[in-house]
Amino acid sequence: MSDPREPVGAVDDVLFRPVRSGNAFEDTVQRLLQTVRLGVVAPGESLPPERDLAARLGVSRDTVRDAIRALSDAGYLVARRGRYGGTFVSDEPPTGLHPGSGSTLPSDPSRSAAEIDDVLGLRDILEPGAARAAAARTLSATDRELLWSKLLETAASGVDDYRRTDSRLHLAIGELAGIPSLLPLLVENRSRVTALLDEIPLLERNIRHSNEQHELVVTAILRGDPDAAERAMAEHLSGSAALLRGFLG
């Protein structure tokens, strides 16, 4: 019988392949969640040691620790000390609740992977394009001040307000694209994205990372660099997409 710390096979190779450096934390959370959801490491069994996970995923041990801590707080993993200690999958991992949020509102059982892909796929087209368009325009002093104030507002928000201010920033970028017919599409898509985000926990490290990425997007827009703005927005969206697919997939 194989050691549960050293799972083998093609699925294991896929789950523990190196993650993208731009969203190392979010992708690490996604991979560990997939490991739990697919039963590669069963309830009560242990994950590989942190050093092995870090080496295989191509991330730092701090990133692995942060991901494990986030998933422990959300109820998916349990850390045990002592000679036979390690990180174990919870005996009863969360299934139908908002993990780690304290909420008892059920997830939508009718939502399919195809629906999630549809929402996120449209977002991948709309929002990077909006950031590119905003960066390509000559913004007024008022526009620039508004955008920067939305960035600061989001960065200063706590957990309770973060998703609201995050949406305001993203929609402000959409407004600055200067394409009136684009904004209703962004609003509709953003509302669908928010509905998905409301079903997963807010992770402190993800908030910090999002704020860093927001600043990259905004500064690229303000200096008039469409390529950088589009690229930074796409990178930012891929991080939240990884978390959504990890928790809801």
30 found inside a domain? yes
* 192 and 147 belong to one structural domain: yes
95 found inside a domain? no
d(CA 167, CA 150): 10
What confidence score (pLDDT) does residue 92 get? 86
* 136 and 197 belong to one structural domain: yes
Give all strands (DSSP E) within the chain, no chain letters. 77-80, 86-89
Query: How crowded is the C-beta side of 22, counted as CA atoms within 13 Å?
Result: 13
197 found inside a domain? yes
* 156 and 232 belong to one structural domain: yes
Number of independent structural domains in the chain = 2
* 217 and 128 belong to one structural domain: yes
What confidence score (pLDDT) does residue 164 get? 86
What confidence score (pLDDT) does residue 109 get? 52
**DSSP designation for 228:** H
d(CA 38, CA 235): 26
Query: How crowded is the C-beta side of 32, counted as CA atoms within 13 Å?
Result: 34
> With a threshold of 0.75, does the pTM exceed it?
yes
Q: Domain with 59 in it: what CATH number?
A: 1.10.10.10
∠ CA 37-82-74, nearest 5°, is 30
d(CA 35, CA 129): 34
Q: Domain with 237 in it: what CATH number?
A: 1.20.120.530
- Tens of pLDDT along the chain (249 residues)? 334 444 345 667 778 889 877 899 999 999 999 888 877 888 899 999 999 999 999 999 999 999 999 999 999 999 998 877 899 999 988 864 343 443 334 455 557 888 999 999 999 999 999 999 999 999 999 999 999 999 999 999 988 889 889 998 999 999 999 998 998 899 889 989 988 998 899 999 999 999 999 999 999 999 999 999 999 999 999 999 999 999 987
Note whether 9 and 224 are within 8 A (CB).
Answer: no
| Cβ partners under 8 Å of residue 136, min gap 6 | 224, 226
Structural domain for 209, as ranges: 113-248
∠ CA 204-169-125, nearest 5°, is 95
**Tokens 């780690």, residue located:** 100
Sign of the C-alpha dihedral computed for residues 241, 206, 197 and 173 taken in this order: negative
d(CA 4, CA 88): 10
Q: Enumerate the H helices of the chain as residue ranges.
A: 10-15, 24-37, 50-57, 61-73, 113-136, 141-155, 159-176, 182-197, 204-222, 226-248
* 81 and 122 belong to one structural domain: no
d(CA 216, CA 211): 9
Give all strands (DSSP E) within 5-157, no chain letters. 77-80, 86-89
Note whether 245 and 199 are within 8 A (CB).
Answer: no
Distances in whole angstroms, Cα of residue 216 to Cα of each of 30, 95, 118, 124:
23, 35, 26, 17
